């Protein structure tokens, strides 16, 4: 287990866990470490730390006395964990895993719904933009046609002005 997992199980801060682990190591307890020197915690380590917390919570016990008492307890008992306690921890982990899986499934369903909603919104936006573009192009065409008709009328009017007075008089 990681330090964070152990802290969660024991309900202590990481700094407290480090302090207790160092005290136990100084007293002769061995924690497994990786190549970087980081501690790896096993069930026996968690049990030992839990025992330290129990003994430490007794009145008139200093931390050093609690560590010595735990080391004595380890030597006497060999820290063998009863099968029922192992099974209880495993069941607790299994329940937590089931709960997390349910949460993940619910989140996946919610995400899928959100994706569908976003797809619908994008489709709506695309359709509205296409409709707006068509309307705009149609308006531009109409505007150009009106301008062209106005230009033709203006040209005809200008041509009439250019005709001489007599041609206008006789309608030629």
Is residue 33 a part of any domain in this protein?
A: yes
CB 60 within 8 A of CB 16: no
32: phi then psi, degrees, rounded to nearest 5: -75, 140
Is residue 48 a part of any domain in this protein?
A: yes
Is residue 129 a part of any domain in this protein?
A: no
> How many domains would you assign to the chain?
1
DSSP H helices in the chain? 3-10, 14-26, 43-56, 63-77, 83-162, 165-170
Q: Which residues, at least 6 apart from 53, have a Cβ–Cβ distance to it below 8 Å?
A: 10, 12, 20
Evaluate if residue 1 carries a pLDDT over 90. no
The CATH number assigned to the domain holding 75 equals 1.10.1660.10
CB 128 within 8 A of CB 121: no
Q: What is the mean pLDDT of the chain?
A: 87
Tell me the pLDDT tens digit for each residue of 70-126.
Answer: 999 988 876 544 444 455 556 778 888 988 999 999 999 999 999 999 999 999 999
Is residue 138 a part of any domain in this protein?
A: no
Evaluate if residue 19 carries a pLDDT over 70. yes
Q: Residue 46's domain spans which residues? A: 3-80
């Amino acid at each position: 287990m990681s330090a964070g997992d152990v802290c969660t199980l024991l309900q202590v801060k990481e700094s407290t866990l480090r302090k207790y682990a160092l005290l136990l190591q100084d007293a002769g307890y061995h924690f497994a470490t990786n190549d970087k020197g980081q501690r790896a915690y096993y069930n026996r380590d968690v049990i030992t730390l839990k025992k330290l917390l129990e003994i430490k919570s007794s009145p008139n016990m200093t931390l050093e006395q609690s560590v010595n008492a735990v080391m004595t307890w380890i030597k006497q008992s060999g820290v063998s964990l009863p099968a029922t306690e192992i099974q209880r921890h495993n069941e607790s982990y299994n329940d937590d895993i089931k709960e997390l899986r349910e949460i993940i499934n619910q989140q996946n369903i919610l995400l899928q719904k959100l994706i569908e909603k976003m797809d619908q919104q994008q489709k709506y936006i695309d359709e509205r933009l296409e409709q707006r573009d068509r309307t705009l192009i149609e308006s531009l065409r109409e505007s150009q046609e009106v301008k062209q008709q106005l230009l033709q009328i203006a040209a005809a009017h200008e041509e009439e002005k250019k005709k001489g007075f007599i041609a206008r008089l006789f309608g030629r």
